[in-house]
Amino acid sequence: MEEIKNLANDINTKFDANANALLSVKSELSTMVEKSIDSVKAEIKAVKDEMDKQAEEVSRKSAAKIASTKSIGEQIAEQLDSNMAIAEKELKSSGGSFTMNLKAVGNMLLSSNLTGDSVATYNQQQAILPSQKLNFRDLIPTVQSATGTFVTYKESGSEGAIASQTEGASKGQIDYDLTEVKTVNAYIAGFATFSKQMMRSLPFIEQTLTRMLIRDFFKAENASFFGTVSGAATGSTTVSATDDVEEIIQLIGNQKSANFNASYALVSPTQMARLIISTYNKGYYAGAGAVILNGAGGLTIFGTPVFEASWVTDDKVLIFDRDYLERVEVEGLNVTFSYENGTNFVQNLVTARIECYEAINLMLPTAAIYADLGNV
């Protein structure tokens, strides 16, 4: 029992010691917190006092500046005092009167108050010249070629004939001649060169230049295709009529008589106007005489659509069977921008190139008619 009692006393003694230690630590922490708070308060007060001092200094200087600013009357008086001799001389010479001009405050105007240009708004659309409304390639099929030479075999003649057999006699014998025709493709191409500075200063230049190159490419292509076909056409141009509409009707008749289709008749815009005027002057109203004119200006003669194209020579008409006319393409139309051309790299220049490797192939010259209508 004595040992247990001693153990209990020992535990109580240690507990009291630990409790006293905890109270001491708590007291020290409380003192430290109070000192920290007092320190922060002192720093805040010092900052506030400094700000109040600076604000008071600013107010004092502003008041002094305002006080030193003179009114217009005070400024006039001061100028008179400093130039009294001049003022007295002016008074004497003007008979006792004196005039002082003050520059009035005026309205602000671009014409008088702005040096340089005002802010501008730039149009997102560039006004470039128009494209041709119809392209020859849109009227004919396209075939692909792996090489630059495209070969077509055309029928060039025959001997003998197919006929009814007489009993006991030999049947009719016939042979055909084929001729090889080579179409040699060529690049229709062009390029334009511009500086990197221009590209940076005019962000639209690449897109706009592409549009202009494509426009001019089709001008060149249309002229080339039209020249090739019109120059090769050998279909009959014999007519007896003198009226433009009647001439075209007879030409279409010639085409059909040779068993070709008259897929299209192409004329210039000026010639199209003559035809439309003729439909009214001659009484060719809608459906009359196989001449159909719709409200949009579309014209059909003898079942053949008549199209206007600015690349057709005026006063001429080109009629063809599209089954015998094709565009041969080796490389498709493309536009490429590059620094690698001549001295582009060292001169900060960019070259834009457009090209297409192609040709037009009139397989049978008799499948097209090119005629003069006799107006000019």
**Residue 275 belongs to what domain range?**
136-163+172-372
Question: What span, in angstroms and rounded, lies between the C-alpha atoms of 290 and 343?
Answer: 62
For 234, the 3-state DSSP assignment is coil
Residue 251 belongs to some domain of the structure: yes
Residues paired with 144 in a beta bridge: 329
CB 271 within 8 A of CB 264: no
Beta strand pairing call for 349-362 and 325-338? antiparallel
CA–CA separation, 210 and 199 (whole Å): 13
**Per residue in 268-286, pLDDT tens?**
999 999 999 888 887 765 5
Tell me whether residue 37 is in a domain.
Answer: no
When mean pLDDT is compared across 30-44, 150-164, 257-271, the lowest value belongs to 30-44
Q: What is each CA distance from 213 to 70, 81, 161, in whole angstroms?
A: 70, 77, 54
Q: How many domains does the chain divide into?
A: 1
Q: Kindly tell me the sign of the dihedral angle through the C-alpha atoms of 358, 363, 365, 366.
A: negative
Q: 313 or 155: whose pLDDT is higher?
A: 313
Which segment of 78-82, 111-115, 124-128, 361-365 scores lowest on mean pLDDT? 78-82
- Residue 125 confidence (pLDDT): 83
Report the CATH number that the domain containing residue 244 is assigned in CATH.
Answer: 3.30.2400.10
Tell me if 196 is assigned to some domain: yes
pLDDT at 289 over 70: no
Q: What are φ and ψ of residue 35, in 5° steps?
A: -65, -40
Q: Which tens digit of pLDDT belongs to each residue from 99-144?
A: 555 556 788 888 888 888 888 888 888 888 999 999 999 999 999 9
DSSP strand E in 196-340: where? 264-267, 291-293, 299-301, 304-308, 316-320, 325-338
Give domain status of residue 302, yes or no. Answer: yes
Burial class (CB in 10 A: 0-12, 13-18, 19+), 257: exposed
What does the pLDDT read at residue 117? 86
Inside any domain, residue 120 = no
Residue pair 101/76 in contact by the 8 Å Cβ criterion:
no
Cα(210)–Cα(202) distance, rounded to whole angstroms? 14
Kindly state the helix (H) or strand (E) to which residue 159 belongs, with its residue range: strand 149-160
Q: How far apart are CA 351 and CA 333, in angstroms?
A: 17
pLDDT score at 230: 97
Whether 306 shows a pLDDT value over 60: the answer reads: yes
pLDDT at residue 32 greater than cutoff 90: no
pLDDT at residue 167, as a whole number = 87
For residues 283-298, one letter each, b for 16 or more C-beta atoms within 10 angstroms of the residue's C-beta and e for the rest, the string is ebeeeeeebbbeeeee
Question: CB-side exposure of 113: number of CA atoms within 13 Å?
Answer: 6
pTM for this one? 0.69
Confidence of residue 324 (pLDDT cuts 50, 70, 90): very high
Q: What DSSP element (H or E) covers 34?
A: helix 2-68
The average pLDDT across 1-6 equals 65
Local structure of 81: helix, strand or coil? helix
Listed in sequence order, the residues at least 6 apart from 310 whose beta carbon sits closer than 8 Å to its beta carbon are 132, 133, 268, 269
Q: Please state, as a whole number, how many other Cβ atoms lie within 10 Å of the Cβ of residue 251.
A: 27
Q: What is the pLDDT of residues 179-216, one digit of tens each?
A: 999 999 999 999 999 998 988 888 888 899 999 999 99
Residue 35 inside a domain? The answer is no
Q: What is the pLDDT of residue 262?
A: 97
Place of tokens 């008179």: 80
Percent of the chain at pLDDT > 90 equals: 49
Q: What is the pLDDT of residue 92?
A: 57
In a domain, 236, yes or no: yes
pLDDT tens digits for range 147-180? 999 999 998 899 999 989 888 899 888 999 999 9
Residue 99 lies in a domain: no
Which of 55-64, 83-92, 111-120, 253-262 tops mean pLDDT? 253-262
DSSP code for 69: P
pLDDT at position 14, please?
Answer: 62
